[in-house]
Amino acid sequence: GVLAHLEMLEARAHQAAVKQEEVEQQEQKLARLQARVQELRAQRDELRAKVDLQEKEQLGKEGAVSNPAQPSAQAVLEWKIKSIKATLQIFYLTGISGKLTKRGVCFCISTAYEGTYLDSYYLDLLTKPEVQIHRHSVPIFIPLEQIARSYLQTDIRRFLSVLSEHLNAYVGRRYQADQLQEHFSEQIEGTLQRNSLCNLLVFNYKVSNKSKTFPFKVRLLYGDLCCSLPTEVIVSCT
């Protein structure tokens, strides 16, 4: 009995050491990713500033030739195409890529969580006579229409950025829930309950100490849909 207990303690100590090493590796990886994100954001801001400057210069040239209050339809179309091309170059650095089509542009938004690639979502936009969504693979519970009403006609860059934040936060929450159920199935009692958006998670788990078992119930609420971490955590013991 004593030897078995010692072997059990050694196994637990080994598992704890392995988990500690994994945590340290994850922290180092996260630090490298955060540094890379800051670098990409700086490059994005620099490119955005250059594109804005080029657009202002182009509009100034067009205004010198024609009436600035009434630009020609051809000038407006050329400006839209140039703006879309610039947008494609900028967002390629932030997980958003795209290509021009005969009727507009098709975007691909790639999502990831802590360096793990997850899913890609597609968005087909029409640019004539105005920018509008033609087809998409965005989940129905993502507030795409609301985001489109706010930004699609006025700031397509902001539209793509906000949509990307929603999608990355959603897949991050879903990925964490999957990992929780996969790696802690022995402690979790029953099935982890979640809604489609994965912004509400409820599950039960137990902790054993000597001869006693303590049942806990956890409720995780994600009040910010652009965040992959909960804003409210309730843990109760019955």
What gap in Å lies between CA 65 and CA 108, rounded to an integer?
37
Using one digit for the tens of pLDDT, what is the confidence trace for 72-120?
Answer: 666 766 676 666 666 555 554 457 787 888 888 899 998 888 878 889 9
- What residue ranges define each of the domains in the chain, with the CATH number in brackets? 90-170 (3.30.457), 187-237 (no CATH)
Measured torsion, CA atoms of residues 7, 12, 15, 20, in degrees rounded to the nearest 10: -140
Could you identify the residue written with the tokens 């843990």?
235
Q: What is the layout of strands, in order, in the sheet containing 188-194?
A: 188-194, 200-209, 212-221, 232-237
Per-residue pLDDT of the chain (238 residues; tens, 9 = 90+): 556 666 677 777 777 777 777 777 777 777 776 776 777 677 777 777 777 777 677 666 655 554 555 566 667 666 766 666 665 555 544 577 878 888 888 999 988 888 788 899 999 999 888 889 999 999 999 999 999 999 998 888 889 889 999 999 999 999 999 998 888 888 888 888 999 999 999 999 888 777 788 888 999 999 999 998 999 999 998 7
- What is the model's pTM? 0.60
Nearest to 136 by CA among 121, 120, 119: 121
Alpha carbon of residue 89 to chain centroid: 19
Could you identify the residue written with the tokens 């022995």?
186
Q: Which two tokens stand for residue 20?
A: 């500690």
